[in-house]
Amino acid sequence: MIQNKNILLGVSGGIAAYKACALTSKLTQQGAAVKVIMTDNAAKFVSPLTFQALSRNPVHIDTFDEKDPAKIAHIDLADWADITLLAPATANIIGKLANGIADDMLSTVLLATQSSVYVAPAMNVHMYAHPAVIANMKQLDSWGYHFIEPGAGYLACGYVGKGRLEEPESIIAAVAEHQGRGDLFSGKKVLISAGPTQEKVDPVRFFTNRSSGKMGFALAEAAASAGADVTLVAGPVSLETGNKRINRIDVVTAEEMYQAMHDHFHTSDIVIKAAAVADYRPKQIYGEKMKKQPDDWRVEMERTQDILQSLGEAKKHQFLAGFAAETTNPVEYGITKLQKKNLDAIIVNNVAAEGAGFGGDTNVVTYVNKTEEKEDIALRSKQEIAKEILKLIARDMKDEPK
């Protein structure tokens, strides 16, 4: 997965820059073409000549050092790269990238490249835990950047903790493993629903639920990163999509989500219903705001259409997975839903469990396929949960009789 790749290595100004020398050497030994961009501060730790000798390519530092008048250097480098690797990534360069700042050669190229970008942070343990750094990393993650987490150990500042640049061998293994997953769903069309729905009562009131859409959006990003063409039907949420492989359709009501899912169902290969759709809606919608009354106000409700049930009935070649958010006997209820709605898999989560449920950044789920084989996925970020779910779907699709 590394051989014959064009790898752009960005080296920012931290003591861990010395590890980037070994990283450059190992990448070239594995058959990659490597070009190095350094910040001015990185060049104070390691000589550019070292990287030139190891990569056998010129090292770039100055945005205005245009060696070839026929090309704009930072655009040419950005277009050349198959993979961009930022190691070490300091808090400073992460902050620049997350906020769209391009004031040197490295940050300019990073904003211009369309390649996959892998970020290997290295900094003091307290810097790594700072809310600003965490927010910047979350922002980059939401845009599809891939992080290689630092290791824990003795740091150059004298502290012991998380923040040490991962070893070159581990960085390369992480990049290779992710690149290998890049074609997991190549050529597949994936349809995903996410978020809540809103059912209107009057111009100022509606019924909804606590779904944030984070799990569905994480699945969409993971599927797109795995090579799929993704259609994401999203209820009213405040999340953004950054991957160009994601076609986002925004809806509000259960009826609109039903229609959008059926519009795209027959051309999809994999369908994951992660949305928390309203089961009921007001039978009467008032055209004007209802005024406060001295007595109780009763709102009569009617059933919405069961989207997952209808998709199960219409299923032909599709792999259909649903979610079951439960608080009591979650797996048992999930299996009942799996069977009743003609699903290929159900992802069950106990929303009452610590670290799971609506609104948070983590989840705990159990994946159950149609043979009732269970896989528990322990507490982790919703992005990591999404990757594990897609691996299991790929496994079960591979095992299906043709």
Do the Cβ atoms of 113 and 78 come closer than 8 Å?
A: yes
Q: Which residues are catalytic?
A: 157
Separation CA 64–CA 128 (nearest Å): 32
Q: For the CA atoms of the chain, what is the radius of gyration?
A: 24
Separation CA 47–CA 58 (nearest Å): 12
Residue 220: which residues within 8 A CB-CB, separation 6 or more? 190, 192, 194, 230, 232, 241, 243, 246
∠ CA(88), CA(92), CA(94), 5° rounding? Answer: 70
Pick from 345, 229, 335, 209: which is nearest to 275 by CA?
209
Separation CA 242–CA 258 (nearest Å): 25
What does the block give as tokens for 257?
């989500």
Residue 332: which residues within 8 A CB-CB, separation 6 or more? none
